[in-house]
Amino acid sequence: MSESAFFSGQVVDTPTAREFTELALERVSREELRDVAALLERKVDAFGSLLASDAIALMTDVQAEGLLRSVFATRRRHRVILDALTVDGFAEMCHGLVHGSDPAGQRLAVFHEAVAAIGRDVPPQAGFDLGSSLLHFTDPDRYWLWTRWMWDPITETGALPLVITEDVELATDDIAETYRRVGIAIAFVNDVGEAAEFREKGRGILDTDVFLASVYSIYLYTTLRMRMTQEFNQVVPGLSELVRRLLGVHRSPLMEDVAA
């Protein structure tokens, strides 16, 4: 992945990224964040097994449901999606997405449109959110994660705009191009994060996922504190649980022994 012309100058707002890390560590220990990264490694193993080229055609309803329930954006809409697409249809879409010969952005765009065609029972962002999750957790070193809590092109909010400079333009009208831009931004965050010590050394892209989920969690806490009552704020999950929920590893059906 190479730097593009729309990324001129500094990309990562390093002081702000460090500040988010400090705020997160006031609410959660590094050990708890390491545990989340370990859960992501297990998620990669599960996705890689279910989405292997020779396994997708054999996907069962339970396995398809497990995949959908392990992605934050589709956890509560798994039945709507499978009823609309059928398990065989969903498996075929997954095969084209993960193993197709077209560039990844084009495959994601096709997948996104198919999910979006389900209609109003599925959020318009669910297609790229689910599709990028399937790609990323099948091969995290090759594909990056693009969730709406990282960058939502409709609301223009998310974790990425909070830790990159204002000069970086993520918004486009094209799913494939937006996916590429998000990937470049995440690559910068991943590379700078280790050197700047706002994420741990040697833990790779999955630790960057945890960092970005932590950033968005802090953003949510700040927003809720300003808008909601104290009683409501008291029932919001702790940061560790919220990060696990965002990353789809809280009570994941694909990992039965994961602690609640």
Judge whether 126 lies within some domain: yes
Judge whether 1 lies within some domain: no
Q: Which of 5-19, 45-59, 114-128 has the lowest mean pLDDT?
A: 5-19
Judge whether 7 lies within some domain: no
Q: What is the per-residue pLDDT for 9?
A: 63
The amino acid sitting at 186 is I
Report whether pLDDT(154) > 60: yes
- Do 180 and 170 meet the contact criterion of CB atoms below 8 Å apart? no
Helix (H, G, I), strand (E, B) or coil at 81: helix
Q: For 54-77, what is each residue's pLDDT tens digit?
A: 999 999 999 999 999 999 999 999
- Do 29 and 210 meet the contact criterion of CB atoms below 8 Å apart? no
Report whether pLDDT(116) > 80: yes
Judge whether 167 lies within some domain: yes
Give the tokens for residue 154: 């409709």
Q: Which of 76, 68, 243, 59 is nearest to 159 (CA)?
A: 243
Judge whether 257 lies within some domain: no
Spatial neighbors of 203 by CB under 8 A, at least 6 apart, are 34, 37
Judge whether 51 lies within some domain: yes
Mean pLDDT of 26-52: 94
Q: What is the mean pLDDT of the chain?
A: 89
Distance, in Å, from the CA atom of 147 to the CA atom of 135, rounded to the nearest integer, reads: 12
Judge whether 4 lies within some domain: no
Mean pLDDT of 24-39: 92
Backbone angles phi, psi at 136, to 5 degrees: -65, -45
- Work out how many domains the chain is built from and give that number: 1
Between 98 and 251, whose confidence is greater?
Answer: 98
Report whether pLDDT(258) > 50: no
Distance, in Å, from the CA atom of 103 to the CA atom of 1, rounded to the nearest integer, reads: 13
Q: For 117-138, what is each residue's pLDDT tens digit?
A: 998 789 999 999 999 999 999 9
Helix (H, G, I), strand (E, B) or coil at 12: strand
Q: What is the per-residue pLDDT for 235?
A: 62
Q: What is the per-residue pLDDT for 251?
A: 81
- For the chain, how many helices (H) and strands (E)? 12, 0
Q: For 197-247, what is each residue's pLDDT tens digit?
A: 777 766 789 999 999 999 999 998 888 765 555 555 566 788 999 999 999
State the residue range of the domain holding 130: 14-246
Q: What is the per-residue pLDDT for 257?
A: 39
Between 52 and 200, whose confidence is greater?
Answer: 52
Report whether pLDDT(4) > 60: no
Judge whether 241 lies within some domain: yes
Mean pLDDT of 144-154: 96
